Amino acid sequence: MLSVVIPTLESGSHLAETLSSLMADLSERENEVIVADSGSSDNTLEVAKENGAVIVSAPRGRGPQLAAGARAAKGNWLLFLHADTSLGANWLVEAERFMTSAKSYACAGVFRLSLADDTLAARRLEAVAAWRARALGLPYGDQGLLISRRFYDMLGGYRPLELMEDVDLVRRIGRRRIHHFETVALTSATRYMRDGYIWRSARNLSCLALYFLGVDVRLLLRLYG
C-alpha cells in the first residue's frame, strides 16, 4: 500500500491540481493520500475533502507536517510530495517498478524537477537541480521522495525542522541510495518568477551553505522568505 503525504498551509490554489492528478492514478488501487495541514484558512481543507484525502492536523513547518503525515500513514511505502507539485503521466509505472524491487527497500526514489515556466532561466535551473541531485546527492523536496516505511523508520524519519528538512533526510539516506526516476515533478515557479531566478537561487544557496555551517534553522527562515 502506498501513502502519499502532502504538507499544506494556505495551499488551495495549487492543491486541487496536485490531488486530481494523483487520485486519477490511484483510484483503482488500495492507496491513500494524506494532507497534513497547519491551520489553513483558505479552501485547502475543502479541496482535500472533495478529492477524498485524509486530513491530519500538524504543527507549522514542513518537517513537523511531513512527520505527522507519516505517523498517520498506513502504507508500507510513503511518497512525500509538495502541494504545488504534480507528477508526470508515467510516475506510477516507475514507482511500482521501484517498489517491487527487493533492493529498493533500502533506497529512496526522487523525480526529475520541472518548473512550470517556459523561460530559459527555468531550464537552466532544472539542469542545475539535476546535477545537484545526482552529483551531490541533494535532491530537494519539490522532487518528491518515495521511500519504504521500513527504511524511513530506520533513518529516524523527518525531523521537526521548519526548513532544510528535505536536505537533512536525504543526507541520512546517502547519495548512493537515491534512485532517480525519469518522470518529472512539475513544480510551481512562483517564487522564482516573483523574486527573479538569480536572486532566489542565490538566496537558496546561501541558506544551504549557512545550514551546512551550523546556523540555526530559525535564523535561516528569515533569510529564506
Q: Which residues pair with 115 in a beta bridge?
A: 187
pLDDT tier for residue 102 given thresholds of 50, 70 and 90:
confident
pLDDT tier for residue 61 given thresholds of 50, 70 and 90:
very high
Q: Domain 2-193, what fold?
A: Spore Coat Polysaccharide Biosynthesis Protein SpsA; Chain A (3.90.550)
Mean pLDDT of 204-225: 86
pLDDT tier for residue 30 given thresholds of 50, 70 and 90:
confident
pTM of the model: 0.95
Q: How confident is the model over 152-198, as pLDDT tens digits? A: 999 999 999 989 999 999 999 999 999 999 999 999 999 999 999 99
- Check pLDDT > 70 for residue 47: yes
Q: What angle do CA 53, 55, 59 make, to 5 degrees?
A: 140
Mean pLDDT of 3-20: 94
Q: Which residues pair with 155 in a beta bridge?
A: none
pLDDT, mean over the chain: 94
**Structural domain boundaries in the chain:** 2-193
Residue 101, C-alpha cell as written in the block: 524491487
Q: What angle do CA 105, 133, 175 make, to 5 degrees?
A: 45
Q: Give the percent of the chain with pLDDT over 90.
A: 86
| Total residues belonging to the chain | 225
Angstrom distance (rounded) from CA 110 to CA 80:
10
- Check pLDDT > 80 for residue 28: no
Residue 220 phi, psi (nearest 5): -65, -30
Q: What angle do CA 14, 204, 57 make, to 5 degrees?
A: 45
